[in-house]
Amino acid sequence: MNNKNRELYNKLCVSAEEAISNIKNGDTVILDMGCCEPRGIERAIVNNYENFHGVEFYQMIVCGETPFANEKFKGHFKYNSLFASSSNRKAIALGYADYTPCFFYEMPEVIRDIIKPRVSICSVCPPDENGYVSLGANVDYIASTIDYCEIKIAQVNKHVPRTLGGAIKHISEFTHLVEIDEELPEVPSIPLTDIEMAIGKNCASLINDGDCIQLGIGGIPNAICAELGHKKDLGLHSEMVGDGVIELIESGVINNSQKNIDKGKTVVSFCFGTKMLFDFIDSNPLFEVNPIEIVNHPLTVSKIDNFVSVNSCVQVDLMGQVVSDSVGYTQISGVGGQVDFVRGAALSKGGRSIIAMPSSAKGGTISKIVAVIDEGAAITTSRNDVDYIVTEYGIARLKGLSLKERAKALIGIAHPNFRDALAEAYEKRFNQKPF
């Protein structure tokens, strides 16, 4: 770094304790998420919890435990999740944490105009010669939030990759920098099951050479990646990616050559993987990590021809209503970018959206295709938005189908053990047998 930037850097660098002393009682704080969660600074806050009263934290997906969503911090911290995960589902269900539903592309605006945090805390990589840092694997809602928070704190961590695109900030944009090097939390790919492989095959059959894809969260995306090896000239424009895409990019299957925007570049908003992925995206000029309000905006997606979005869900009823983020009353995840991409894909010339899921849950004891969704569950993708539903038993394209046609198509891809019961429900509802 040149002298001027070095001087500034030294001035901004403080201990975690000094940085967090800026948080006042009653403050609202927005935290970076996922693999770039600023864990070092979070630890300092938790260790000093008795100094804080009524401080509310907002954060999206976390990889490990959510430190603040704990009954013991009652009165000190409130935790508000923008995407529940296994680490805070229980806390939300028991009421000592809360969940805020919000389309991902709208999140930066909702945070700025309604939630109005005064403090932001994120992770960045060490500065370059010119004093520029990168937000690394996560740009999502945090990049624009930093622009307007009064207090902007960053954990400078040498393990954060230097990603390009909207991730770059100058050190002068921060109030305090805290040097804490620690490995980033990793999200390893789980070995694929036969069911996931079959789903991957069915989804891959709907993806043509030259299409641009988005892959959602959960077990299905890697199964799809495993089936795309023989495709050509794919594009990748996705809210998130995991390790599964590395091979496809390295082998040239994904080359982004047909994209109408960002030609030649993979564009995402956050990365959810292991060190292999962090190393791959580090200073990679063909890989951009950009703000969520741009990446996920249905109008951005609409500009890319032949866009195929692939997401997963918990339940689909016979009308094609898709439940993806709750199991009954239990909030298990969030809407994330599912609807952003379903709608964007619908607006794209030649675009289509896929909701892919195993036909059953809990070891085959529960059908995910149901006559009526569970009490308390929230509809994520409406029956008006839904397009393809895929299970290991096949593909049902619901768009343009009537209620009866939809129900029949869905019974046809349900697990065979549940088809009779679904057929009975059809008969009860429509006063006729389905087949």
Q: Which of 80, 145, 256, 338 binds ligand COA (CB under 6 A)?
A: 338
Residue nearest to ligand COA (CB): 218
Cβ of residue 85: shortest distance to ligand COA, in angstroms? 9
Output 131 or 244, the one with its CB closest to ligand COA. 244
One-letter amino acid at 35 equals: C
Output 31 or 171, the one with its CB closest to ligand COA. 31
Q: Return the DSSP state at 23.
A: P
Give the ranges where 87-209 is alpha helix by DSSP (H): 89-94, 107-110, 142-148, 194-204
Q: Return the DSSP state at 211.
A: -
With contacts defined by CB under 6 A, name the span among 121-129, 143-151, 310-318, 404-412 that binds ligand COA. 310-318
Q: Which of 70, 324, 331, 391 binds ligand COA (CB under 6 A)?
A: 324
Half-sphere exposure for 327 (CA within 13 Å, toward CB): 14
Output 168 or 366, the one with its CB closest to ligand COA. 366
Nearest to 359 by CA among 225, 216, 220: 220
With contacts defined by CB under 6 A, name the span among 17-25, 143-151, 313-321, 421-429 that binds ligand COA. 313-321
Distance CA 43, CA 39 (A): 6
Nearest to 29 by CA among 141, 109, 117: 117
Cβ of residue 244: shortest distance to ligand COA, in angstroms? 13
Does the protein bind ligand COA through residue 371 (CB under 6 A)? Answer: no
Distance CA 142, CA 107 (A): 10
One-letter amino acid at 424 equals: E
Write the interaction track for ligand COA spanning residues 234-263; mark x where CB under 6 A is met and - where it is not: -----xx-----------------------
Distance CA 272, CA 276 (A): 11
Output 134 or 296, the one with its CB closest to ligand COA. 296
Output 140 or 211, the one with its CB closest to ligand COA. 140
Does the protein bind ligand COA through residue 196 (CB under 6 A)? Answer: no
Output 229 or 376, the one with its CB closest to ligand COA. 376
Q: How would you classify the pairing of strands 168-170 and 132-134?
A: antiparallel
Catalytic residue among 239, 288, 293, 392: 239
Does the protein bind ligand COA through residue 325 (CB under 6 A)? Answer: yes
Output 42 or 140, the one with its CB closest to ligand COA. 140
Does the protein bind ligand COA through residue 327 (CB under 6 A)? Answer: yes
Task: Say what the alpha-carbon torsion angle 31, 34, 35, 39 is, to the nearest 10 degrees.
Answer: 40
Cβ of residue 206: shortest distance to ligand COA, in angstroms? 17
Q: Which residues neighbour 83 within 8 Å (Cβ) at sequence distance 6 or greater?
A: 33, 60, 61, 325, 333, 334, 336
The interface with ligand COA within residues 76-95 (CB under 6 A) comprises 86
**Radius of gyration of the chain measured on its C-alpha atoms:** 22
Q: Is 239 one of the catalytic residues?
A: yes
Cβ distance 79 to 69 under 8 Å? Answer: yes
Q: Which of 161, 200, 216, 235 binds ligand COA (CB under 6 A)?
A: 216
Q: In which element (H, E) is residue 295 found?
A: helix 292-295
Q: Which of 67, 127, 166, 336 binds ligand COA (CB under 6 A)?
A: 336
- Burial (0-12, 13-18, 19+ Cβ within 10 Å), 361: middle
Does the protein bind ligand COA through residue 312 (CB under 6 A)? Answer: yes
Give the ranges where 123-193 is alpha helix by DSSP (H): 142-148
Number of residues counted as binding ligand COA (CB under 6 A): 25
Q: What is the binding site for ligand COA (CB under 6 A)?
A: 86, 216-219, 239-240, 311-315, 324-325, 327, 332-333, 335-338, 361-362, 366, 368
Catalytic residues: 239
